[in-house]
Amino acid sequence: MKHLSIFSIFWLFGKLFSLKGNPDKMKVMILGIDGYIGWPLALRELMKGNEVVGVDNFFTRKRVKEVNSESVTPIPSFQQRLKKLKEKTGKSITFYRGDVADPKFFLEVMRREKPDAIVHLAEQRSAPYSMRGLRQATDTMVKNIVSTLNLIYAVKDTVPNAHILKLGTMGEYGTPNIDIPEGFFDIEYNGRKDFLPFPKQAGSWYHWTKVHDSNNLMFANRLWKLRITDVMQGVVYGTRTKEIDQTGLFSRFDIDEVWGTALNRFCAQATVGLPITPYGKGGQTRGFLSLEDSITCLDLALSNPPKEGEYRVFNQFDEHYSVRELASMVQQVYAEAYKKTPEIRSVPNPRLEAEEHYYNPAHEKLAKLGYRRSKELRDEVKIIFRDLRTYRRRIEKLKEVINPRTIWKDSPTK
């Protein structure tokens, strides 16, 4: 009996101070740990003292090669990354190589690791890639949706109380002619009222996969009361985070027409004297945030998990800009710093999207949790230029794959 009560005290103590009870010490599993966001997020969580488990199948590396491109920042193999991490910080990551869309593999990893939180970044993330043809559309659709379903079932079976932090996209909402709320809105129709998910109008097969994921996550939440944060993230830019500064362990940085995103591409174009390319009229407006701020937001979501049974949506971006505004900001910053004015040359829009539109999405929930942007966009752009000038030669080698060639309407059946 005495034994039992001592045991009970230990048990209670353990419960109170267990990893779960103390949000500063968690076991975080990062799916897609080798990616642009996965790697710096792993560094942040490790440096905070959390335990990190990573999963990746290196599909992004393979698919970037498929379009004759590579990361502008030289990134070593994942094994090398882990070795360097250990040398520089003394810390390690438990790593599993495999596909989250493979249910057996993934369930086994979850059974072994039983994480407190799982960040799902292991989806095909390029809209242009998904529009290259039926093969890529199918690949994106199947792998993305199945991976999230596998995650849902594995969490339900192994750690039903864990936090699923899922990366969705602001592109799920599209560009409606009304304000965009954070996930849900009050609606009155034919005299009756409800609080419903905001209608989605995605603009590529990739963006639609994220809509389908969100629907599946909402349903999983109703079925099994899972804790879920669905992050509608804007376009991320930048080369640096605090931990990249400390360790010198860069994340990847893509600039080609398939894998590169607007601001990163514009900075690379200016660096090697290519025209900056806003597509079409350039009034396409999106939410943007820096890599540092993206990691801060994800970390804030991890440290402030949803309540039991809660499905919540965060719109994650700092400010919204039109691509025309971004192009001229990049032009100005470059001209001030290097006394040479890059050309801005609008190119025919390869995508099907509104080129002038209303855009006013809410983004208050992360601010309520304490989020503040780390730097002005102009200052971040200066840092990107500094890094890209170091790797100028690598950008020069990619000149052939920078201009847009993936035409949405021509997506072939092959």
Residue 276 CA, chain-centre distance (Å), reads 24
CB of 278 to ligand USQ, least distance (A): 4
Q: Does the footprint of ligand USQ cover residue 255 (CB under 6 A)?
A: no
Among the listed residues 50, 71, 126, 296, the single contact to ligand USQ using CB under 6 A: 126
The contacts of residue 289 (CB under 8 Å, 6+ apart) are: 233, 234, 235, 236, 237, 297, 316, 317, 318, 373
Of the pair 357, 382, the CB lying nearest ligand USQ is at 357
Q: Does the footprint of ligand USQ cover residue 169 (CB under 6 A)?
A: yes
CA proximity to 25, closest of 302, 329, 234: 302
Among the listed residues 19, 279, 310, 328, the single contact to ligand USQ using CB under 6 A: 279
Of the pair 96, 205, the CB lying nearest ligand USQ is at 205
- Return the H-helix or E-strand segment holding 210: helix 205-224
Q: Burial, 375: exposed, middle or buried (Cβ in 10 Å; 0-12, 13-18, 19+)?
A: middle
Token couple for 221 = 């939440």
**Among the options 60, 73, 140, 169, which is catalytic?**
169
The residue type at 201: Q
CB of 361 to ligand USQ, least distance (A): 9
* Residues 326-355: x where in contact with ligand USQ by CB under 6 A, - otherwise, as a string: -------------------------x-x--
Give the binding range for ligand USQ (CB under 6 A) out of 104-112, 163-171, 187-195, 304-312. Answer: 163-171
**Among the options 36, 96, 173, 206, which is catalytic?**
206
Q: Does the footprint of ligand USQ cover residue 265 (CB under 6 A)?
A: yes
CA-atom Rg of the chain in angstroms: 22
Neighbours of 327 (CB within 10 A): 25
CB of 386 to ligand USQ, least distance (A): 21
Of the pair 116, 213, the CB lying nearest ligand USQ is at 213
CB of 77 to ligand USQ, least distance (A): 23
Q: Does the footprint of ligand USQ cover residue 323 (CB under 6 A)?
A: yes
Alpha-carbon gap, residue 159 to 337, rounded angstroms: 51
Give the 3-state secondary structure of residue 122. coil
Q: Does the footprint of ligand USQ cover residue 261 (CB under 6 A)?
A: yes
Q: Does the footprint of ligand USQ cover residue 200 (CB under 6 A)?
A: no
CB of 14 to ligand USQ, least distance (A): 40
Token couple for 231 = 């992050």
The contacts of residue 325 (CB under 8 Å, 6+ apart) are: none
Residue 169 is a catalytic residue:
yes
Q: Does the footprint of ligand USQ cover residue 278 (CB under 6 A)?
A: yes
Q: Does the footprint of ligand USQ cover residue 361 (CB under 6 A)?
A: no
Residue 371 is a catalytic residue:
no
How many residues appear in the chain?
A: 414
Q: Does the footprint of ligand USQ cover residue 252 (CB under 6 A)?
A: no
Q: With b meaning 16 or more CB within 10 Å and e meaning fewer, what string describes 352-368?
A: ebbbeeebebebebbee
Q: Does the footprint of ligand USQ cover residue 226 (CB under 6 A)?
A: no
Give the binding range for ligand USQ (CB under 6 A) out of 78-86, 150-158, 261-269, 375-383. Answer: 261-269
CA proximity to 252, closest of 105, 62, 26, 91: 62
Among the listed residues 284, 294, 315, 374, the single contact to ligand USQ using CB under 6 A: 284
Of the pair 115, 171, the CB lying nearest ligand USQ is at 171
Q: Kindly list the strands in the beta sheet with 235-237, ordered across the sheet, starting from the edge strand earlier in the chain.
A: 235-237, 285-290, 319-322
Give the binding range for ligand USQ (CB under 6 A) out of 25-33, 52-60, 276-284, 295-303. Answer: 276-284
**Dihedral over Cα of 43, 126, 278, 362: its sign:** negative
Residue nearest to ligand USQ (CB): 171
Among the listed residues 121, 170, 220, 267, the single contact to ligand USQ using CB under 6 A: 170
Would you say 290 and 319 are in contact if contact means Cβ atoms under 8 Å apart? Answer: no
CB of 150 to ligand USQ, least distance (A): 20
User: The tokens 């072994």 sit on which residue?
Assistant: 112
CB of 170 to ligand USQ, least distance (A): 3
Alpha-carbon gap, residue 395 to 400, rounded angstroms: 10
Would you say 215 and 172 are in contact if contact means Cβ atoms under 8 Å apart? Answer: no
Of the pair 164, 263, the CB lying nearest ligand USQ is at 263
**Dihedral over Cα of 302, 49, 79, 241: its sign:** positive
Residue 338 is a catalytic residue:
no
| Residues of the shown chain interacting with ligand USQ in the complex, contacts defined by CB under 6 A | 125-127, 169-171, 233-235, 261-262, 265, 277-279, 284, 286-287, 323, 351, 353
Return the active site residues: 169, 206, 210
